[in-house]
Amino acid sequence: MSPTAQQDGRVGDRIENYTGFWQKDMNKEKKNDTDNRVENYTEVINGYYDGATELYEYGWAQSFHFSRFYKGESFAASLARHEHYLASQMVLRPGMRVLDVGCGVGGPAREIARFADVEIVGLNNNDFQIGRARKYTKKAGLEDQVTFAKGDFMKLSEQFGENSFDAVYAIEATVHAPTWEGVYGEILKVLKPGGVFGVYEWCMTDRWDPSIPEHKALAHEIEFGNGIPEMRPLAKAREALKTVGFQIEHEEDLAERPDVVPWYYPLEGDIWKAQTVWDYFTVWRMSWSGKLATHNAMKLMEVVGMLPKGTWDVGEALKVAGDALVRGGQTKLFTPMYLVVCRKPQN
Ligand SMILES: C[S@@+](CC[C@H](N)C(=O)[O-])C[C@H]1O[C@@H](n2cnc3c(N)ncnc32)[C@H](O)[C@@H]1O
């Protein structure tokens, strides 16, 4: 373990292992070995987030998700609106006890707590992110309303007990699960009867055909660039929700809306598409010159020990992610915003 690891929860070895893991995964004998990734999901995902968290915060925001955009709408406003939209579709009411599954550094939890006046428990398997989530929440004065717990979303009922939340939501997190049936089944268990689950899921759309090599390659780049064991089709998410016992009340792929400003625009790095003056800087960080500047600075910081070893490599994986996500968005083969609102039956 590096000294940083003991202080802030990051584990140097697993950041370094992230890229190595995928190299092994893609070697000639075991081409694209999803089984290996699914079995080792905790190490792979934690290695990825140990390396990627600071980059996400620097290049994006404290909310690690995408959103739709309206013309002239700032980046921060659109992220918040996306969170409010989920909360309102779920009809969250003041006083409800709500679980945020895969909560990142708590950006959405703080925003939804303020918006809907609910009590939120953020669940995350990554120590480094939990530490940051607690720090930001204290700074926001929300520590009595928004708390955080370390744990694996594949074992929710073991940790929280059955029937313990009025509502559960997950924003762009459950794609990291080794199986959707596994994580959705656990969410169903911890919900009270009649409780609501709302999710923004990452999926390959119905246009995606894994027998087409370019489609398969796109899914693999998204997996590698984002620490995802296996990209799966949207129909499989719907089927998994029903199989575990949810009643689907509303579903929509929000990426299908005819938006003038597409959800992936900040990743394109085209500063002329920035919607507000302030957002020029956010978009610039995704441009080729912004990426070059960041990656050189990161290399230097890694060499002098300010960043754990392997962070630069994870940054390289993030570049692959950015390009693949834009391609997935342009071709509509991929969506990061398949919205489902569903309910646990009363009996
Ligand atoms: C893309 S981030 C989204 C974070 C947050 N929902 C947001 O929108 O800011 C995915 C999150 O899922 C968490 N995660 C991944 N696998 C997990 C698991 N098995 N158990 C708990 N959390 C997990 C990651 O640590 C990360 O915080």
Reported as a single tens digit per residue, the pLDDT across 281-309 is: 777 777 777 777 677 776 667 776 777 77
8 A C-beta contact, residue 69 and residue 80: no
The ligand 1 atom at the shortest distance from the C-alpha of residue 106 is 9
Q: Are residues 184 and 46 in the same domain?
A: no
Give me the residues of the chain with pLDDT under 50, please. 1-3, 6, 28-31
Angle of helix 311-331 relative to helix 41-59, nearest 10 degrees? 80
Q: Are residues 114 and 238 in the same domain?
A: yes
Q: Is residue 338 assigned to a domain?
A: yes
Task: Report how far ligand 1's centroid is from the alpha carbon of 171 (Å).
Answer: 8
Reported as a single tens digit per residue, the pLDDT across 205-225 is: 999 999 999 999 999 999 988
User: Which of 41, 127, 176 has most ligand 1 atoms within 8 Å of CB, for mutation?
Assistant: 176
DSSP letter for 233, please.
B
Task: Report how far ligand 1's centroid is from the alpha carbon of 109 (Å).
Answer: 12
Euclidean distance between CA atoms 342 and 107, whole angstroms: 23
Q: Are residues 307 and 276 in the same domain?
A: yes
Number of domains in the chain: 2
Q: Is residue 68 assigned to a domain?
A: no
> Tokens 């290049």 identify what position?
59
Task: Report how far ligand 1's centroid is from the alpha carbon of 283 (Å).
Answer: 24
8 A C-beta contact, residue 57 and residue 318: no
Q: How far is CA 68 from the centre of its chain?
A: 15
- pLDDT, residue 3, reads 41
Residue type for position 210: P
CATH number at 235 reads 3.40.50.150
> Tokens 């590096």 identify what position?
2
Q: Are residues 99 and 241 in the same domain?
A: yes
Q: Are residues 270 and 251 in the same domain?
A: no
Euclidean distance between CA atoms 101 and 197, whole angstroms: 10
pTM flag (> 0.85): yes
The ligand 1 atom at the shortest distance from the C-alpha of residue 153 is 20
The ligand 1 atom at the shortest distance from the C-alpha of residue 49 is 25
Euclidean distance between CA atoms 280 and 288, whole angstroms: 14
- pLDDT, residue 38, reads 67
Q: Are residues 248 and 307 in the same domain?
A: no
User: Which of 18, 153, 267 has most ligand 1 atoms within 8 Å of CB, for mutation?
Assistant: 153
Q: Are residues 84 and 197 in the same domain?
A: yes
Name residues contacting ligand 1 (CB within 6 A).
Answer: 45, 49, 63-65, 102-104, 107-108, 123-126, 129, 152-154, 171-173, 176
8 A C-beta contact, residue 307 and residue 234: no
- pLDDT, residue 347, reads 77
Q: Are residues 242 and 311 in the same domain?
A: no
What string of H, E and C letters represents the secondary structure of 167-206? EEEEECCHHHCCCHHHHHHHHHHHEEEEEEEEEEEEEECC
Give the closest residue (by CA) to ligand 1 atom 10: 173
> Tokens 């909310």 identify what position?
63
Angle of helix 279-286 relative to helix 41-59, nearest 10 degrees? 130
Q: Is residue 225 assigned to a domain?
A: no
Q: Is residue 214 assigned to a domain?
A: no
Euclidean distance between CA atoms 333 and 215, whole angstroms: 8
8 A C-beta contact, residue 103 and residue 109: yes
Task: Report how far ligand 1's centroid is from the alpha carbon of 175 (Å).
Answer: 9
> Tokens 């919900």 identify what position?
191
Give the closest residue (by CA) to ligand 1 atom 24: 102
- pLDDT, residue 26, reads 55
- pLDDT, residue 29, reads 47
Task: Report how far ligand 1's centroid is from the alpha carbon of 262 (Å).
Answer: 24
Q: Is residue 277 assigned to a domain?
A: yes
CB atoms within 10 A of CB 276: 13
Q: Is residue 51 assigned to a domain?
A: yes
DSSP letter for 9, please.
S
Structure tokens at 322: 């950015």
- pLDDT, residue 106, reads 98
Task: Report how far ligand 1's centroid is from the alpha carbon of 347 (Å).
Answer: 30
Q: Are residues 110 and 18 in the same domain?
A: no
Q: Are residues 246 and 115 in the same domain?
A: yes
Q: Is residue 215 assigned to a domain?
A: no
Q: Are residues 201 and 252 in the same domain?
A: yes
The ligand 1 atom at the shortest distance from the C-alpha of residue 226 is 1
Give the closest residue (by CA) to ligand 1 atom 27: 104
Task: Report how far ligand 1's centroid is from the alpha carbon of 173 (Å).
Answer: 5
Q: Are residues 82 and 181 in the same domain?
A: yes
Q: Is residue 266 assigned to a domain?
A: yes
For the chain, the maximum distance between any two Cα atoms, rounded to a whole number of angstroms, is 59
CB atoms within 10 A of CB 191: 24
- pLDDT, residue 1, reads 40
The ligand 1 atom at the shortest distance from the C-alpha of residue 154 is 19
| H or E stretch covering 150 | strand 146-150
Domain that holds residue 109: 75-206+230-258+334-343
8 A C-beta contact, residue 199 and residue 340: yes
